[in-house]
Structure 1
Amino acid sequence: MTVVPKRPLLRDMSWVLTPLLEVPGVVHALVLSGDGMIQGATQALTREAGEGASAMASAVQGACKELVRKLAGQEESPVLHQVVVSTNYGFAFLIPAGDNTVMAVFAQPTVDMGVIAHAMQVQVSKLGDKVMNSPARARG
């Protein structure tokens, strides 16, 4: 029987997550596409955990939009600013990070929610600046 070693996640946008790990209580962070594909992750997160978390984060965002749309009696989806899930294990924070991009952070129950929410917004701004200042790719 061949055992396949666990591979770390690809870290294309992981640079934007590093400062979030400096916030006391932050455990993991991800950048994902709206359809749940990983675009970056903190180093300690395994590929398997990251892929599962990315898929669920995408589903949670979609479910929250639909929930609010239905409860508000609206035809169009709302603009989602933030989702926070509070559990006995800690908090999951999800915020939009640009066009079809989401940032997700998992933190211990002791985290200062205001500090992490602010830190995430700062990093989303940096991500936006980096993406907007990147040279255009040639069409292929």
Structure 2
Amino acid sequence: MLGVTDLHGGSPPSWSAEAQQQGTTALPAGEQLDLVAEAAGRRDGVQELASAYEEEVPQVRQQVEVPQGTAVFILSLPNGKPHLVPADAPNAFVVDLGGRSLAELQADPLYAALPSFAAGSVWELPATSYRPDHDGTVGALDALAQLFGA
């Protein structure tokens, strides 16, 4: 699935109605790269991409100073309903999927009262970091390296 999927791995909300009308079905995570590579005639590059990712993970892990304590990922959705917000997490990552931005959430007294928001231990990750594909995960790694690079 190219694009940010819905909460169940389906078509992105911005074009899910069209996808359903056309009979499009989402592939399980992990099969997408193979299918796209095959369609583009570039199946030979799949292993190289996977290997590059596997090499990048430990490099990023060594280069960043990870915040202490647990972290929660908050999905900011267009419907305005919070998802994945435990009250006691000392760190939070906001992924804006068409909802309120980090700045807007910080101005909301409900969020401002959470320990992570009160302590200023909240960071925004790009919407693509929610995607369970190669580009999404590499983008998330790059964002984490930029946020917490030592």
TM-score tier after normalising by the smaller chain length: under 0.3
- Could you say which structure has the higher helix fraction? 2
- Could you say which structure has the higher strand fraction? 1
TM-score normalised per structure 1: 0.23
TM-score normalised per structure 2: 0.22
